[in-house]
Chain A
Amino acid sequence: MADVQDTGVAPILSAHRISKSFGEIPVLFSIDFDIRPGEVHAIIGENGAGKSTLIKILSGIEQPTSGSIHYDGRSVVLPPDGKAEAMGIVLIHQELNLAEHLTVADSIFLGRELRQGPFLKVGEMRRRAAEIMETLHVHVDPDARISSLSVADKQMVEIAKAISRDARVLIMDEPTAVLSVGETQTLFEQIRRLTARGVSVVFISHKLDEIMELADRVTVLRDGQLIATVSTEALTPDSIAQMMVGRELSNLYPPKHEPDVDEPVLLSVRNLATKSVSDISFDLRKGEILGFAGLIGSGRTAVAEAIVGLTHRTAGEIQLNGQVVNFTRVAQSVEAGLAYMTKDRKGKGLLLNMGLRPNLTLLTLQKHMRAGFLDTASEERALERATRRFDIRARDASVAVGRLSGGNQQKLMLGKTMESEPDIIIMDEPTRGIDVGTKQQIYHIIAALAAEGKAVIVISSELQEVIGLSHRVVVMRSGRIAGVLEGAEITEEEIMRYAAGIKQSGHDERISA
């Protein structure tokens, strides 16, 4: 039942009615997907649309819950653990899977070293590695250590590795996310050379302009559903953006109460710069919810961490209630009434081996001291209050926080942040990986905080969330503010245009509301 499409070219790899659930959570619904020989096929979709899961299934790393995979015209079950590489299907991960201490030649032959009895044929491998690099027009010394290479060169080594395994389908997860413009062009030339040799390339990208330039066909996913597979000529960046989003806002979000225009500015940032972001300026008013949208890696977290003193600021000025502040430690910003809630609740937010009480009060232990000693009873009272206020549910307070559900962990972290009674709260991905019911609770808490007169910044990769909550939205792209949207301009399409670089505004005139 090979699904031969209009061109009559038989696909090399195809997926038919693929569905995938993790536990009870479905992430892909009956997806059809095919790749033709020598084609570049882009997969695009919002965060959480199911792109990564799809390519993991196509490369055998995940098995589909239902549906079938055809390779070379035959129905196959792809072997897991990257063994599909031997069949010619190679996945190149975004974070690149290279051992930093090995040389380029070692890496290319890793796992299938050329041997003479028990001994490695080092010279032979080096020569062959050099040959492969030659055919790819890559100028990297086969003896160089991986750790000494740039990200772009590492990617080329990954490609060389794939070619040395006679890859016929090369799947790349956001290969350009970490590349500069020049490096991206080099990669594209490489991809064109590969497709000229008949290799098929599947890649995920968020950058619409790149897709328009490189891809022959585009598949759009949304919420685990296949929206369309279209040939690129038939598309404009705008129509892609519309396909990626295009949903109705539900009543998940509380009604918005815009702050009065004469509310005082609580936080004012001017020309902030760090190693990864530059020229960041914005104002935040009392009672306002300011959304920060942008692609992953666009620098939103870096801005927040620089403001609260977690990372070093190279330039710029920050004013809190009109006073210039210069936080070098988190303790100072907490003291001043500015709290940052990390997006990484397991890695940076909570002590997973400890109970609820020590986690809740860790940021504010000073409040629970009596005569130099911790007052456990006072901590218990704080936990009781937070449990009620944020509806934290746990079997008992001594259960290790790591065993709570994501939603309860998130609510506990919110409670911990609010224990410091901040006037300004920066929430980084406040609903990441939690169920929709808890999301709704958190949205209402955020709205209530703003109504109380707190100022809230919500950094989120979920456009729906940014749109549903924010009074204004800052869109970031590549470490800069690409645009500031307000009122009726706050739509998914508009945010996408700024985030993907189709539209760019001088934002200076719109720093404040």
Chain B
Amino acid sequence: MSVSAPEIPAKTTSRFKWDLKTIGPLAALALLVLLGITLNENFLTYNNITNVLARSSFIGIIAIGATFVITAGGLDLSVGSMAAVIAGVMIMVMNWLIPVFGIGWGVILAGMAAGVLLGGVAGVGNGIMITRGRIEAFIVTLGTMGIFRSLVTFLADGGTLSLNFQVADVYRPVYYNGFLGVPYPILVFALVAIAGEVVMRRTAFGRHCAAIGSNEQVARYSSINVDNVRLITYILQGVLVAVAVLLYVPRLGSASSTTGVLWELEAIAAVIIGGTTLKGGYGRVWGTVAGVIILGLIGNILNLQSFISPYLNGAFQGVIIILAVLLQRPKRAS
């Protein structure tokens, strides 16, 4: 029935194939950088680049978690609201603990610990409902998205939760300072990205994620504990949301019901632009990193030029997302 080209014994060559699928996100990134340079001489300055990357690092760290969730055939819509809740709770914990620890790093570390713990617990909650409860990931995380969003509004009593000013002063350098001129958020983003890429490519967990997303039955018949691997992806997502929040809180020192709005969609968009398949089975962390930076650069370039209204930012991002999927869709079998 299927007439195939003459087959020769399998050879283990050509691990790198430079087709459009692989280089797409990088090519788009390069084009955007070129465009930026042509449009404004300030584009390539240290300040502009670090600014874009630092702002992108929140979404970036979250999107790396989303890469694992999506690769394993899942979805987490709750990350934006989860970020808001974690930020709110962190601020409240730090404010409460000032009488215990005084103003200083003790309070901040306690707040960070609370944040990471909460992120992990939220991930466990999502993951348990999806794996043990056998409910669609879309439904579960749509539900928790609403729950988290309303929780932060409740905790802030409809207003804003603000970190004690003195603590905020101590905490502020975590966002604004850096090491050897590289702001900490960018450093953390880079570390998470490298670790994520290694985990995806070089560990059994990463391989199992792709296997489950590709075909859950095959994974089950290949002795993979499908539920556990899925659960871990959601926990990882929760913890990475918390890590992003640790860097976000010192930036503004406050949280409200508008914190993290639409982050989930930006994160998913970055994952898709990066070439990860939305229905699972194939994921690449470096692609997600490129995707996040592409989304960040679009806004930045629109702000740096005067021909097109920056209000069209969302429209350009939308076009890029659709183009990315269009270019990466599988060719019809001939």
State whether the Cβ of A187 lies closer than 8 Å to any Cβ in chain B. no
A348 with B217: in contact, given A374-B202, A374-B203 (CB under 8 Å)?
yes
Cα–Cα, bound, A396→B10 (Å): 5
A3 smallest CB distance to B (angstroms): 32
Residues of A within 8 A of B142 (CB): none
Are B12's CB and A397's CB within 8 A?
A: yes
Residues of A within 8 A of B221 (CB): 310, 330, 340, 342, 348-349
Closest to B1 in A: A23
State whether the Cβ of A384 lies closer than 8 Å to any Cβ in chain B. yes
Residues of A within 8 A of B285 (CB): none
State whether the Cβ of B8 lies closer than 8 Å to any Cβ in chain A. yes
State whether the Cβ of B207 lies closer than 8 Å to any Cβ in chain A. yes
State whether the Cβ of A421 lies closer than 8 Å to any Cβ in chain B. no
CB interface residues, A 310-360, toward B, < 8 Å: 310, 329-331, 334, 340, 342, 344, 347-354, 356-358
Question: Which of B13-21, B262-270, B293-301 is near enough to bind chain A?
Answer: B13-21
Question: Which of A48-56, A364-372, A455-463, A482-490 is near enough to bind chain B?
Answer: A364-372
B320 smallest CB distance to A (angstroms): 24
A475 smallest CB distance to B (angstroms): 26
Residue-by-residue, is B1-12 near A (CB-CB < 8 Å gives 1, otherwise 0)?
A: 111110111111
A353 with B7: in contact, given A330-B222, A358-B207 (CB under 8 Å)?
no
CB interface residues, A 19-49, toward B, < 8 Å: 22-25
State whether the Cβ of A395 lies closer than 8 Å to any Cβ in chain B. yes
A409 smallest CB distance to B (angstroms): 11
A397 with B11: in contact, given A403-B4, A405-B2 (CB under 8 Å)?
yes
CB interface residues, B 165-209, toward A, < 8 Å: 198, 201-204, 207-208
State whether the Cβ of A243 lies closer than 8 Å to any Cβ in chain B. no
Cα–Cα, bound, A344→B218 (Å): 9
Cα–Cα, bound, A329→B225 (Å): 8
Are B10's CB and A365's CB within 8 A?
A: no
State whether the Cβ of A119 lies closer than 8 Å to any Cβ in chain B. no
Partner of B12, one of A25, A383, A416: A383
State whether the Cβ of A507 lies closer than 8 Å to any Cβ in chain B. no
Cα–Cα, bound, A374→B214 (Å): 19
State whether the Cβ of B248 lies closer than 8 Å to any Cβ in chain A. no
State whether the Cβ of B220 lies closer than 8 Å to any Cβ in chain A. yes
State whether the Cβ of B281 lies closer than 8 Å to any Cβ in chain A. yes
A331 with B225: in contact, given A362-B207, A383-B12, A395-B8 (CB under 8 Å)?
yes
A398 with B17: in contact, given A22-B1, A353-B214, A392-B10 (CB under 8 Å)?
yes
Are B11's CB and A396's CB within 8 A?
A: yes
Residues of B within 8 A of A396 (CB): 10-14
Partner of A369, one of B7, B201, B204, B208: B204
State whether the Cβ of A393 lies closer than 8 Å to any Cβ in chain B. yes
Are B215's CB and A393's CB within 8 A?
A: no
A357 with B12: in contact, given A373-B203, A403-B4 (CB under 8 Å)?
yes
State whether the Cβ of A212 lies closer than 8 Å to any Cβ in chain B. no
Residues of A within 8 A of B211 (CB): 351, 354, 358, 362
Cα–Cα, bound, A396→B204 (Å): 23
Residues of B within 8 A of A351 (CB): 210-211, 214-215, 218, 281
A330 with B214: in contact, given A398-B15, A403-B4 (CB under 8 Å)?
no
Partner of B203, one of A330, A372, A416: A372
CB interface residues, B 1-43, toward A, < 8 Å: 1-5, 7-15, 17
A83 smallest CB distance to B (angstroms): 25
Closest to A358 in B: B207
Are B9's CB and A23's CB within 8 A?
A: no
Closest to A340 in B: B221
State whether the Cβ of A283 lies closer than 8 Å to any Cβ in chain B. no
Are A395's CB and B7's CB within 8 A?
A: yes
Partner of A329, one of B7, B17, B202, B223: B223
Cα–Cα, bound, A23→B17 (Å): 32
Partner of B207, one of A329, A365, A408: A365
Residues of B within 8 A of A24 (CB): 1, 3
Cα–Cα, bound, A395→B221 (Å): 27
Residues of B within 8 A of A347 (CB): 215, 217-218
CB interface residues, A 367-399, toward B, < 8 Å: 369, 372-374, 376, 380, 383-384, 387-388, 391-398
Residues of B within 8 A of A23 (CB): 1-3
A354 with B12: in contact, given A374-B203, A403-B4 (CB under 8 Å)?
no
Cα–Cα, bound, A256→B253 (Å): 79
Residues of A within 8 A of B1 (CB): 22-25
Cα–Cα, bound, A351→B202 (Å): 18
Residues of B within 8 A of A334 (CB): 223
State whether the Cβ of B286 lies closer than 8 Å to any Cβ in chain A. no
Closest to A384 in B: B12
A440 smallest CB distance to B (angstroms): 18
Residues of A within 8 A of B2 (CB): 23, 405
A428 smallest CB distance to B (angstroms): 11
State whether the Cβ of A125 lies closer than 8 Å to any Cβ in chain B. no
Are B215's CB and A374's CB within 8 A?
A: no
A125 smallest CB distance to B (angstroms): 34
State whether the Cβ of B282 lies closer than 8 Å to any Cβ in chain A. yes
State whether the Cβ of A363 lies closer than 8 Å to any Cβ in chain B. yes
Cα–Cα, bound, A331→B225 (Å): 8
Are B9's CB and A387's CB within 8 A?
A: yes
Are A393's CB and B7's CB within 8 A?
A: yes
Are A393's CB and B218's CB within 8 A?
A: no
Closest to B5 in A: A395
Cα–Cα, bound, A307→B1 (Å): 35
Residues of A within 8 A of B4 (CB): 403-405
A419 smallest CB distance to B (angstroms): 10
Closest to A403 in B: B4
Closest to A341 in B: B221
Residues of A within 8 A of B17 (CB): 398
Q: With A349-B218, A363-B222 given, can you name 17 additional A-B contacts, CB distance below 8 Å?
A: A22-B1, A329-B223, A334-B223, A348-B218, A351-B281, A353-B214, A362-B218, A366-B204, A373-B198, A383-B12, A384-B12, A387-B10, A393-B8, A393-B10, A398-B14, A405-B2, A405-B4
25 chain-A/chain-B pairs, Cβ below 8 angstroms: A22-B1, A310-B220, A329-B223, A331-B223, A331-B224, A347-B217, A348-B215, A348-B217, A348-B218, A351-B210, A351-B214, A352-B214, A353-B282, A354-B214, A358-B210, A365-B204, A369-B204, A374-B203, A393-B7, A395-B5, A395-B8, A396-B12, A397-B11, A397-B12, A403-B4
For the complex of A and B, list the 10 residue pairs with the smallest distance between their C-beta atoms, beginning with the closest: A331-B223, A330-B223, A393-B7, A23-B1, A394-B10, A351-B214, A365-B204, A373-B202, A362-B222, A348-B217
